[in-house]
Amino acid sequence: MLVATTDAAQIESLNEQLPALKIVAVDAIGLTPGLVNVHAVTSEGGTPEQRAFLAGYALALTTDDFRVGAITLGADDLGNRTRDSFITGVRYFCGLCSARYMPVNYYPFTAEVTAPSNPADWQAAVDSLLELAVTAMFVQPEISSPDLITYLTSKNVTIIGVEGQAGLETAGKVVGVLGSDLYASIETAVSGLLAGEDIGNSTGSLELKQIDPDFMSEGKHILFERIREDLLNGLIKDRP
């Protein structure tokens, strides 16, 4: 068995020379799908839908009166999937998500951005959520920017981030950061192959890291972990 971090061409050449050798290919971009005895592991943490679901669940779990929302890309398939999965995650925790105090709204709310590079566009999206008393938001990583995150910080908005998200380093109040544990994924792949399992391909495990205990207590983290494991094991649907 070999754990390889070389490029796709070298891995495919090695597979051709030694077809019986089991290879765990790490972040081999462009690797031909379906190669026998080649098992790809990537550093990407879960799918966009899984990240959005867990972002919604975590924010609902840690935000007073469930006053949460998301900003996504409008008229876009990935944006639509991100929005729907976020809403599903929020409602998985709180059901109707009805606020108990004024203003009494049913959460979550979402807002769409059509031109992420236009400050007026994303500022209008943020302001529309603020007018609905949203205090915690998830920004689709693909439309995030330092200026947008700085604006959220100036409005005292709590966020949950995704590893590599633009502007995350400027955020003020962050529940945690969703990301991968590549080493754990490699270890799982190797253990599975040694045990004779058909592991197929996999993405890196999806974790919530850099958790702020002021937002997520130990008890809430235990509850989050149960849901995270069920989601990644396919026991929970991440979209309606």
pLDDT in tens, 3-33: 999 999 999 999 999 999 999 999 888 888 8
Amino acid in position 136: A
Q: Checking DSSP bridges between strand 202-209 and strand 173-181, what pairing results, if any?
A: antiparallel
State the Cα–Cα distance between residues 32 and 12, nearest whole angstrom: 8
pLDDT value at 192 more than 90: no
Nearest to 67 by CA among 112, 97, 111, 87: 97
Q: Taking residues 214-223, what's their average pLDDT?
A: 97
pLDDT at 158: 98
pLDDT at 197: 83
Q: Taking residues 214-225, what's their average pLDDT?
A: 97
Q: Taking residues 154-172, what's their average pLDDT?
A: 95
- Exposed, middle or buried by CB within 10 Å (0-12, 13-18, 19+), for 172? middle
Q: Taking residues 171-182, what's their average pLDDT?
A: 93
Helices in 118-239 by DSSP H: which ranges? 119-130, 146-154, 182-194, 218-232
pLDDT value at 220 more than 70: yes
pLDDT at 202: 65
pLDDT at 185: 80
Please give the domain boundaries of the chain with CATH numbers for all domains. Answer: 2-46+180-206 (no CATH), 48-178+209-232 (3.40.50.2300)
pLDDT tens-place string over residues 30-89: 888 889 999 988 877 788 999 999 999 999 999 999 999 999 999 999 999 999 999 999
Indicate the average pLDDT of the chain. Answer: 93
- Exposed, middle or buried by CB within 10 Å (0-12, 13-18, 19+), for 82? buried
Q: Is the pTM of this model over 0.85?
A: no
